[in-house]
């Protein structure tokens, strides 16, 4: 079984630029999550989707971050404009209906200069 | 709101000796508790989880954890450390409600294994 796929694996941008990350969950997984892991900290939930609907986005900085999950499969997380403090690893995870084990992708490491 | 506190940022043990990684949690409701491991440049992997069944939970690679409600603790142990156990370990809590079940991670404990 293929795991959660993410791309790109690494991205370097300058502050005030825009960036987008892509996630392809495990086939059949209805729930998709985006987490932000700043160096030296544990991951923090940004947003949770159930199929293509948002379940929880309470910790998403909506002035600059946006996410969508069209057709209930792939998802894209966008940052516009980026700030220095957005430097982090962005992790995507998926699960069968909420409440089941979450499987994590390898992450996208973002560096904002 | 729920939270977890990992009491040690770094733990160093000798190979073959016991491992103890400490975690306290706070939750208004009955939580689900997890331990995840993150090896360098690798993804997060679930070690074990507690979901209100047996209080002693056995996981992969010889790890286990005991849920103690009276102490609000969920410490991770292993009888004998192996060099391959060197990694970052996260204690995690989740409270499901309204379909939302995002994980709340602790800050992590870096486990160092001395040869």
Picking from B115, B114, B106, the residue whose alpha carbon sits closest to that of residue B6 is B106
CB B101 within 8 A of CB B31: no
Contact A77, A67 (CB under 8 A): yes
Residues B5, B9: Cα–Cα separation, whole Å: 10
**Half-sphere exposure of residue B76, counting CA atoms within 13 Å on the CB side?**
32
The answer, yes or no, to whether residue A102 has pLDDT greater than 70, is yes
Confidence of residue A77 (pLDDT cuts 50, 70, 90): very high
The chain-wide mean pLDDT, for chain B, equals: 92
Q: Are strands A44-50 and A31-37 parallel, antiparallel or unpaired?
A: antiparallel
Q: Find the mean pLDDT for residues A4-11.
A: 96
**Residue A71 near residue A24, CB atoms below 8 Å:** no
Q: For chain B, how far is it from start to end, CA to CA, in angstroms?
A: 41
Q: With bands split at pLDDT 50, 70 and 90, how would you rate the model's confidence at A98?
A: low
Disruptive mutation site among B5, B10, B30, B44 for chain A (greatest number of A CBs within 10 Å): B44
Contact B92, B76 (CB under 8 A): no
| DSSP bridge pairs for B67 | B74
How many CB atoms within 10 Å of residue B58? 10
pLDDT of residue A101 exceeding 80, the answer is yes
In degrees, rounded to 5, the angle at the alpha carbon of residue B88 between the alpha carbons of residues A78 and B100 is 45
- pLDDT tens per residue across span B73-92: 999 999 999 999 999 999 99
Contact A67, A34 (CB under 8 A): yes
Q: Which residues lie below 8 Å from residue A27, measured CB to CB, with a gap of 6+?
A: A1, A2
pLDDT digit string, tens, across residues A9-19: 999 999 999 99
**What would the mean pLDDT of A80-106 be, rounded to a whole number?**
92
* Whether the predicted pLDDT of B2 surpasses 70: yes
CA distance B15 to chain A (A): 25
Q: A93 to chain B: which residues are within 8 Å by CB?
A: 44
Rounded to an integer, what is the distance from CA A22 to the centroid of its chain? 8
Q: How far is A76 from chain B (nearest CA, A)?
A: 18
- Report d(CA A12, CA B39) in Å as an integer: 23
Confidence of residue A1 (pLDDT cuts 50, 70, 90): low
Q: Are A113 and A85 in contact, with CB atoms under 8 Å apart? A: no
């Amino acid at each position: 079984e293929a795991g959660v796929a993410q791309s790109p694996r690494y991205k370097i941008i300058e502050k005030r630029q825009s960036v987008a990350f892509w996630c392809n969950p495990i086939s059949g997984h209805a729930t998709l999550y985006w987490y932000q892991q700043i160096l030296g900290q544990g991951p923090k939930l940004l947003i949770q989707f159930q199929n293509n609907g948002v379940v929880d986005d309470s910790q998403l900085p909506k002035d600059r971050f946006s996410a969508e999950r069209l057709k209930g499969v792939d998802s894209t997380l966008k940052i516009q404009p980026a700030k220095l403090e957005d430097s982090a690893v962005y992790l995507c995870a998926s699960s069968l209906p909420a409440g089941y084990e979450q499987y994590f992708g390898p992450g996208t490491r973002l560096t904002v200069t | 709101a729920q939270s977890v506190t990992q009491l040690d940022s770094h733990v160093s043990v000798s190979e073959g000796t016991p491992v103890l990684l400490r975690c306290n949690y706070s939750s208004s409701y009955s939580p689900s508790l997890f331990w995840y491991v993150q090896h360098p440049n690798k993804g997060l992997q679930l070690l074990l989880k507690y979901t209100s069944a047996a209080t002693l939970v056995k996981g992969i690679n010889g790890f286990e954890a005991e849920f103690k409600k009276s102490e609000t603790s969920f410490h991770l142990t292993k009888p004998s450390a192996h060099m391959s156990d060197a990694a970052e370990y996260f204690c995690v809590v989740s409270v499901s409600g309204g379909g939302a079940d995002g994980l709340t991670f602790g800050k992590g404990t870096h486990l160092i294994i001395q040869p």
